[in-house]
Amino acid sequence: RKEVEQDPGPFNVPEGATVAFNCTYSNSASQSFFWYRQDCRKEPKLLMSVYSSGNEDGRFTAQLNRASQYISLLIRDSKLSDSATYLCVVNPTGTASKLTFGTGTRLQVTL
Amino acid sequence: DGGITQSPKYLFRKEGQNVTLSCEQNLNHDAMYWYRQDPGQGLRLIYYSQIVNDFQKGDIAEGYSVSREKKESFPLTVTSAQKNPTAFYLCASSPGQRYGYTFGSGTRLTIV
């Protein structure tokens, strides 16, 4: 089983739609969780950290379910500019600042 | 502005040559990392360093070497022993365990 698993997509959604991505992780001792965004042929950029209580940043909401070992990202009112690959990222050990990246879920927002 | 700089952006080398990729940060981060990304694949950890003069192998260290003589700098050498070096190389830094990484803009290495 991979340490971090994501549906590769692509998710094709119309502008204005709400879309959700899930990600599962294998190590129950994982401590830190993040969502990154990666545009084509660019570096990943931190979108948001994921906290146990959940967190929201504008149109983006991240949730963590430790019991089921999954993380979710919800994007409301999708924009064309949201088209990118979204990477689920986990610190599997909690003892070193070494992150494990999922392979990403590709989102394409269309007119 | 603080950030992390990788150079060059594109690099072409002949097979059998060693090549060194530069990574410099002025964020005062202790930890630095090197990842490799192949088309359609996730990031794979090559080496990481949590403090000056110390570094550890990641998941795919064979054929690579690093040094960490200064806090700001973490160069990666791709040696001729690396069997398939053509890839997108990303350097990152982090202030600590609870924080995410800041990435450089990457170096695309092509072996011709």
Q: Tell me, what's the pLDDT at B1?
A: 67
Q: Tell me, what's the pLDDT at A35?
A: 97
Mean pLDDT of A63-90: 96
Name residues 1-30 of chain B within 8 A of A (Cβ): none
Interchain contact, B50 vs A97, CB within 8 Å: yes
Q: How far apart are CA A59 and CA A46, in angstroms?
A: 15
Cα A16 versus chain centre, distance: 19
Please tell me the least confidently modeled range out of A5-14, A63-72, A84-93.
Answer: A84-93
Interchain contact, B102 vs A46, CB within 8 Å: yes
**Contact residues on chain B for A98, CB-CB shorter than 8 A:** 33, 45, 48, 58
- Pairing relation of β-strands B76-78 and B64-66? antiparallel
Q: Where are the alpha helices (DSSP H) in B8-63?
A: none
pLDDT class of B99 with cuts at 50, 70, 90 = confident
3-state DSSP assignment of residue B36 = strand
Interchain contact, A99 vs B105, CB within 8 Å: no
pLDDT class of A97 with cuts at 50, 70, 90 = low
Residue B17 has phi, psi (to 5 degrees) of -95, 145
Which of B41, B90, B100 minimises the CB distance to A34? B100
Interchain contact, A89 vs B106, CB within 8 Å: no
Mean pLDDT of A3-20: 95
Mean pLDDT of B18-39: 95
Which of A32, A43, A102 minimises the CB distance to B97? A32
Amino acid occupying residue B34: W
Instruction: Give the chain B residue nearest A49 (alpha carbons).
Output: B100
**Contact residues on chain B for A94, CB-CB shorter than 8 A:** 97
- Pairing relation of β-strands A44-49 and A55-57? unpaired
Interface membership of B60 toward A (CB under 8 Å): no
Among B89, B33, B36, which Cα is nearest to B60's? B36
Distance between B14 CA and the closest CA of chain A, angstroms = 23
Q: How many angstroms separate the Cα of A27 from the Cα of each of A91, A100, B12, B100? A: 9, 11, 39, 18
Mean pLDDT of B63-90: 95
Q: Tell me, what's the pLDDT at B98?
A: 74
Interface membership of A2 toward B (CB under 8 Å): no
Interchain contact, A101 vs B94, CB within 8 Å: no
Instruction: Give the chain A residue nearest B89 (alpha carbons).
Output: A43
